[in-house]
């Protein structure tokens, strides 16, 4: 059913404002954790190392610019509360938006009209790019990416989705509610 294909996209669009406008760092972390944990439930794999690298790198880069109360000064380098919170906020936001985008393209959304067809093709390419395993070697990175892009072009962007599983449909309904509950709880504190 074509209408079902667009449900993850619609669900993701409903969740987006609750993520972007979340002010409470703890609840933003919970929202991010929920989106990450949603992947294996939907049949996708979680890669922990890239998430930890993003979290630590973005947080560390924000510590370079001191902001707020000083927590410690290891080797004369001030570690501040404000820079730590800002770094964690930025890294949680980036990770949650990455996993939200993965969730939104699960159904290979389709739109009417010529512009909708082009947009649907872009979503299909993005889903194909995310779901194709690629082994990138530093010495052959261009060749590996070229092979991936050529294979996506050969498939003409068509991703065959007969029907979304019931668990996907269930999480399309439940996910926005849970994300907005976290937003509301974070707004109360």
Query: pLDDT tens for residues 102-147?
Result: 888 777 667 677 877 777 677 676 666 666 666 666 777 777 777 7
Closest CA to 87 of 53, 48, 61, 49: 61
Residue 72 is predicted with a pLDDT of 81
Residue 56 is predicted with a pLDDT of 94
Closest CA to 68 of 53, 88, 54, 52: 88
The continuous run of DSSP H or E covering 120 comes out as: helix 113-131
What's the pLDDT tens digit per position in 12-41?
899 999 999 999 999 999 999 999 998 888
Closest CA to 1 of 100, 156, 110: 110
Residue 171 is predicted with a pLDDT of 83
Domain boundaries, the chain: 2-107+162-188, 113-160
Q: Does this model's pTM top 0.85?
A: no
Mean pLDDT in residue range 79-83: 89
Closest CA to 178 of 47, 41, 3, 5: 41
């Amino acid at each position: 059913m074509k209408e079902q294909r667009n449900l993850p996209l619609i669900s993701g669009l409903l969740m987006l404002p609750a993520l972007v406008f979340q002010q409470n760092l703890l609840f933003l972390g919970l929202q991010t954790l929920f989106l990450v944990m949603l992947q294996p439930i939907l049949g996708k794999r979680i890669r922990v190392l890239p998430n930890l690298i993003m979290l630590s790198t973005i947080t560390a880069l924000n510590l370079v610019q001191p902001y707020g109360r000083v927590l410690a000064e290891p080797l004369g380098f001030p570690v501040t509360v404000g820079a730590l919170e800002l770094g964690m906020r930025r890294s949680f936001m980036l990770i949650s938006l990455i996993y939200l985008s993965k969730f939104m393209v699960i159904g290979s959304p389709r739109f009417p009209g010529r512009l909708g067809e082009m947009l649907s093709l872009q979503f299909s390419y993005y889903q194909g790019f995310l779901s194709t395993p690629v082994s990138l070697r530093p010495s052959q990175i261009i060749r590996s990416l070229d092979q991936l892009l050529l294979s996506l072009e050969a498939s003409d962007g068509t991703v065959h989705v007969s029907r979304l599983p019931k668990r996907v449909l269930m999480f399309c309904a439940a996910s926005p509610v849970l994300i907005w509950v976290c937003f509301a709880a974070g707004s109360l504190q």
